[in-house]
Structure 1
Amino acid sequence: MEYTIFGKTGLKVSKLGLGGAPLAGDFGATDEDEVQLMIHEAIDSGINFIDTAPLYGKGESERRIGKAITDRREQVVLASKAVRSDMRYDYETTIRSVEDSLRRLKTDWIDIMQIHDVETQPFELLVNETLPALEKLRQDGKVRFLGVTTRNLPLLLKYMATDKFDSIQFYARYMLLDNTAKDEVIPLAKEMNLGVVNGSVLGMGILADAPASFLKEEIRLNGLARMEKLAFLRRTEPKGLIEPAMRFSLSNPDIQVTLTGTASLAALRTNLSYCDGKGLEPEEMKEVYALFQGQPLFD
């Protein structure tokens, strides 16, 4: 496992992180016993960054992670989020959301508390209520560092400009099908010394030949058309774009954590095998960047 320093937080983090979204069945049926085994194997294999949210399984992801790390809390850099996109992110709701997360995760502190999917809430509300609530929780020692998450890159830049955050997280914006985060967001994060978390590097399942059922038909077809242009990256094994997709993100020195979202031991082991420091060939990188330069796949 490779490790790096998570921006100005100073935390030492594994380049591969465990994403909590699939752990509670949001993307298909899961077996709780296997999930517990998978979390333990992830930690035993060197993964020390775990990311979750109250939204995932309406708290079930946090509960399962809390159960798994009860006796291993010191081994984990734990990231969660506030609030849930079906709620209003006012001061009181933010405080309650984090307190509930602490209870489900069976911990006294969360290392990185991120504002979840900021595109769902008014900017003024988040600045005037959500952030002050998180600052209060930080003063109380219940959270250590603050982050912000969204797929909307112009909005992410706006939040980065407040200089209130220690980390950022985007998803499906630095991957083989859409690398738009490399143009402004990642360079600015490097300049500001922010920790960077990259999610959904398989493009909502498109790069795994298993597009998520909730994807719009137009996006799914566009993604599949882009995959055809990436055929030069295909390996001989089934679902051959998974490996290059993972290596594309893992090898970027300005992305501290690449999340793998899985509830399967087999998939975890496969993704761990890509943590050897090897990326795409320079000519392959040039071609990938040129193919879709400035062309986002998702809204």
Structure 2
Amino acid sequence: MSDNTIPTRPLGGTRLELSEVGLGCWQLGGDFGPIDETTATAIVKQAVADGITFFDTADVYGDGQSERYLGETLSTLAPNAVIATKYGRGEGTYPDGYSLNDLRDSVKRAQDRLQRDTLDLLQLHCIPHEVLQQSHIFDWLREVQQEGHIKYFGASVETQEEAHTCMQHDDLASLQIIFNLMRQRPVTDLFDEAVAKQVGIIVRLPLASGMLTGKFSKQTQFDKRDHRNFNKDGDAFSVGETFSGIEFEKGLELVNKLTTFKPESLSMTEFAMRWILDHEAVTAIIPGASSPKQVTQNASTASLAPLPDALHDRLYAFYLKEIEPAIRCQV
């Protein structure tokens, strides 16, 4: 963006202000294909230059590599940037190794890698619903919070049901959810409650694993380490995380139809991300980026004008009729 600023929004009822467009940092762990430190650092530096002040990572992204890259770069370049990380998917933890000591140890390791005395936001990382329902883990989060290791806690979830379970806790700061043109159900099933309870919404996979860029074809090939290659059918983790739970070729067909709704002045990427930012409940979107140029393109979305209400209505009707029946997981 030309003025190097991006509008911010408050994260629910917290004191944190997030740039509307953040940077998702899964790719900095090398989980989409090899990435060297020079490229990773350039991506983070460009995000700061473009006015991005919110970065989302996790302890398991590259076994801590993503957190290390962020800590090394942001500690001097943007020490006041908000960093959110996650706990709950590490080896020995998922699916049934959760405990206060395990949580605390994970947080301390993240503090070291991120070079932060206190973590801004710790999110439960798509942990089993039964663990959320038992509630013990929320008591452990409160204890770690009282010890000064984290400022706020939230949860990254797969389904609306899991989101509602988490929102039973009044001190929940945020929910990270899949929300995009291919997963629109939160508009009617989640957002009103989130706003009422002052829970901030962080949107991951705003482009449905890149599907909504409109740049894929039946010939598109992904790196063998990329989840879009090995998890197309949910073989490694929830099928809903990859292409928003829609079979690849069906997704191509649906995106082709979605392009007919797009204003001529916008690219498909701009259209898809601006649609998300038009929702009051959303605090920030966290698209990933494989290059500094892509960071800048993503950041520019915040400066676009909102889409017309009538277009939103047409898109939701199209979702209910043609997209939702194709989703292969619980939404």
2:123 pairs with 1:114: yes
Amino acid corresponding to residue 12 of structure 2 in structure 1: G
Could you tell me which residue of structure 2 aligns to residue 78 of structure 1? 83
1:252-263 to 2 correspondence within 5 Å? 252-263=279-290
Could you tell me which residue of structure 2 aligns to residue 292 of structure 1? 319
Q: 1:3 deviation in Å?
A: 1.2
Could you tell me which residue of structure 1 aligns to residue 172 of structure 2? 165
Secondary structure at 1:63 match in 2: helix
2:300 pairs with 1:273: yes
Equivalent in 65, 71, 96 of residue 66 of structure 1: 71
1:207 & 1:58 partners in 2: Cα distance? 28
Could you tell me which residue of structure 2 aligns to residue 226 of structure 1? 254
Secondary structure at 2:76 match in 1: coil
1:73 & 1:271 partners in 2: Cα distance? 19
Aligned residues of 1:85 and 1:116 also touching (Cα < 8 A) = no
- 1:97-131: CA deviations, max 9, x gaps? 11111111111011111111023763355x21x22
Q: 1:298 deviation in Å?
A: 4.7
Unaligned 5+ residue runs, structure 2?
Answer: 1-5, 221-227, 235-245
Could you tell me which residue of structure 2 aligns to residue 103 of structure 1? 112
Aligned residues of 2:88 and 2:127 also touching (Cα < 8 A) = no
Aligned residues of 1:85 and 1:117 also touching (Cα < 8 A) = no
Could you tell me which residue of structure 1 aligns to residue 141 of structure 2? 134
Q: CA RMSD in A?
A: 2.3
2:129 & 2:64 partners in 1: Cα distance? 19
2:316 & 2:127 partners in 1: Cα distance? 28
Could you tell me which residue of structure 2 aligns to residue 247 of structure 1? 274
Could you tell me which residue of structure 1 aligns to residue 241 of structure 2? none
Aligned residues of 2:11 and 2:283 also touching (Cα < 8 A) = yes
Could you tell me which residue of structure 2 aligns to residue 215 of structure 1? 232
More displaced, 277-286 or 39-48? 277-286
Distance 1:120-1:191 versus aligned 2 partners, 3 A rule: closer
More displaced, 104-113 or 281-290? 281-290
1:104 & 1:121 partners in 2: Cα distance? 30
Aligned residue pairs: how many? 294
Q: 1:276 deviation in Å?
A: 0.5
Distance 1:135-1:73 versus aligned 2 partners, 3 A rule: farther
Could you tell me which residue of structure 1 aligns to residue 9 of structure 2? 4
1:258 & 1:21 partners in 2: Cα distance? 14
TM-score (norm 2): 0.82
Aligned residues of 1:114 and 1:149 also touching (Cα < 8 A) = yes
Unaligned 5+ residue runs, structure 1?
Answer: none
Distance 1:196-1:158 versus aligned 2 partners, 3 A rule: same
Aligned residues of 1:8 and 1:193 also touching (Cα < 8 A) = yes
- 1:226-273: CA deviations, max 9, x gaps? 213212145779x94212111111222220111111131011111122
Equivalent in 31, 40, 54 of residue 35 of structure 1: 40
1:182 & 1:282 partners in 2: Cα distance? 13
Q: 1:16 deviation in Å?
A: 0.5
More displaced, 239-248 or 30-39? 239-248
1:250 & 1:30 partners in 2: Cα distance? 29
2:155 pairs with 1:148: yes
Q: 1:163 deviation in Å?
A: 2.4
